[in-house]
Amino acid sequence: MNSIMKKDLTLSTLFFVALMISSISIILSFPAENGYMTTADEGAYFRQAQKINEQGWSGFEALANDYIKNPDSQVYPSPVRIGYIMLASIALKFSNSFHALSTLSLLLFVLQAIASFFFLRRHWGIYIATIGGILICFSPLGWSLARRALSDPASYLFLSLTLFAFIDYIRWNRVRDVILFIISFSFSILIKESAVLFLPFFAILLCVYKFYYEKNIKILSLGLMIIGPLIICTILYVFTLGSIGNIIQIAEIINNLAVTHPQPYVIRYHSGPWYQIFIDLFMISPFVSIFCLMYVGYYFIGTERKNEQLNLLLLFGIYFIILYSSLPKNVRWAQTIDMTYRICAALFIVDVAGKIISSVNLKKAVTIFTMLLILAVDVKAYYNDNITYDIYDPTCYNLLQARHIIFGVGEVPLEQTYLTWSYYYYSKGNFQKCIEEAQKAISINPNFAAAYNNICSAYNNLKDWDHAIEAGKRAVEVDPNNQLARNNLNWAISQKASGK
């Protein structure tokens, strides 16, 4: 065995040992069987999988009909996620317990880590693959979802495989990568319907490489990669959910809930600025975030030839952030961004340290120390968030509260969340939206003087004095000591009297 093969074997073994340690740690931190959120998504997936095991394929149509007719079912994941429901039903055949679904999540996490390792090995070599692979194995976000009974690890795996196949195809133009892309992307959509929103990203880049860079991309391959997943998913939806009509009705319900009538939970925890996910990732894994951002800055400022594979990973991350800037935001949906973070952190450790440090032994020592530091901080963050504070959903609010950056027991009152949005729209000059959000707050708390005052102030700006007076009077009636409300009311009365 020559030295190169020996080094390859040693580093590969190191990765798989790290993956084994990671897996054991996750298993040891599984929630107790009564520690799962039976009234949230975990319970919904469990019940959906049970129905499939009881009724077979006809169970999907039953789930679809219940989702369409029963508003209570619409607060949970829809039955169009047939890919994950099928995987969950298989897991429950081994053991009818939530632990079976956690074991499924762990298995999917392990497969994703292995797929990432071999992807990195193909494009960057064994050294980067080992460091990047170990960082992915010890991701606090990955661990937190690998222990739960949620669909996110499945979505993470198949979206990653889709991205890997796409990048491999751009580089090597192989038929097998086209096939893998179509299969992986179809599964991504069947596991989480919002994955279809990434289709424009792949379609645009395929066209750019075909027609602008004049890459040898066959028209047939381009068409199959764009249309193939949609055809496969449509056929499977019709076959499982009963009819095109059911699919359309479910799609309308999903759109209505997401856009026009978002759930209170979404409003409270998934609202925020476009950069919220970056804040979440920094709180979950600070050193990886810092090293990633430093490397990205170094990469774009540097004069060296840019790496096509990394360009595509970064473009995918940018597209993700743009896409979710107008959608609900939750860092657990951004595991592919977390993966890119860890790849960039690995490149920073190797590339930047390699240029700064000339001594081979010192370079190894610095690499080992840096890796141990990252892993120690990440593991500590995982245990603090998931074991000590038992965070079910790693949203920004929960993470901030766990770190005592914001204080208070329990949830922020929902009416206060609506009022915050009302203030926001007022500051932007969108007075009609300001009124709508304040009215939502009042629908929850009819004696919310601050909301009435905001309505009064907004109507004053719209010069609708009658409605302003009505809201102002109600604010003063609820809270006679609210001087700001009295001022706004008096202004409305005076302006109406002057005929303005």
The domain ranges of the chain are 3-396, 414-497
Task: Judge whether 117 and 133 are in contact, CB under 8 Å.
Answer: yes
**Spatial separation of the C-alpha atoms in residues 449 and 431, rounded to whole Å:** 18
Residue 294 buriedness (CB in 10 A; 0-12 / 13-18 / 19+): middle
Give helix then strand counts, H and E, for the chain.
25, 0
**Spatial separation of the C-alpha atoms in residues 227 and 199, rounded to whole Å:** 9
The CA R_g of the chain, rounded to the nearest whole Å, is: 26
pLDDT of residue 407: 43
Task: Judge whether 456 and 473 are in contact, CB under 8 Å.
Answer: no
Residue tagged 């999988």 (tokens): 49
pLDDT of residue 443: 85
Angle at which helix 126-137 crosses helix 335-347, to 10 degrees, equals: 140
**Spatial separation of the C-alpha atoms in residues 131 and 137, rounded to whole Å:** 10
**Spatial separation of the C-alpha atoms in residues 121 and 238, rounded to whole Å:** 40
Nearest alpha carbon to residue 244 among 252, 272, 375: 252
Nearest alpha carbon to residue 412 among 265, 258, 214, 247: 265
pLDDT of residue 397: 65
CATH topology for 414-497 is: 1.25.40
Residue type for 161, please?
A: L
Task: Judge whether 466 and 496 are in contact, CB under 8 Å.
Answer: yes
Four-residue CA torsion sign, 114, 119, 122, 123: negative
Residue 433 buriedness (CB in 10 A; 0-12 / 13-18 / 19+): middle
**Spatial separation of the C-alpha atoms in residues 295 and 344, rounded to whole Å:** 6
Task: Judge whether 277 and 329 are in contact, CB under 8 Å.
Answer: yes
Alpha-helical runs (H) found in 351-430:
353-356, 360-382, 396-402, 414-427
**Spatial separation of the C-alpha atoms in residues 330 and 292, rounded to whole Å:** 20
pLDDT of residue 133: 97
Nearest alpha carbon to residue 438 among 464, 264, 428, 448: 448
Which uninterrupted H or E stretch holds 226?
A: helix 219-241
CA separation (Å) from 11 to 6, 21, 125, 133, 135? 9, 15, 11, 11, 14
Alpha-helical runs (H) found in 138-208:
140-146, 152-172, 175-191, 199-207
Q: What is the pLDDT along the chain (500 residues), one digit of tens a residue?
A: 577 788 888 999 999 999 999 999 999 999 988 888 887 889 999 999 999 999 998 999 999 999 998 887 887 888 999 999 999 999 999 999 999 999 999 999 999 999 999 999 999 999 999 999 999 999 999 999 999 999 999 999 999 999 999 999 999 999 999 999 999 999 999 999 999 999 999 999 999 999 998 888 999 999 999 999 999 999 999 999 988 888 888 888 877 766 555 566 676 677 778 888 898 899 899 999 999 999 999 888 876 667 899 999 999 999 999 998 877 788 888 999 999 999 999 999 988 777 787 777 888 888 899 999 999 999 999 998 888 877 777 776 677 666 665 444 445 566 777 787 788 778 778 899 899 889 988 888 888 999 999 999 999 999 999 999 999 999 999 998 888 889 899 989 998 888 76
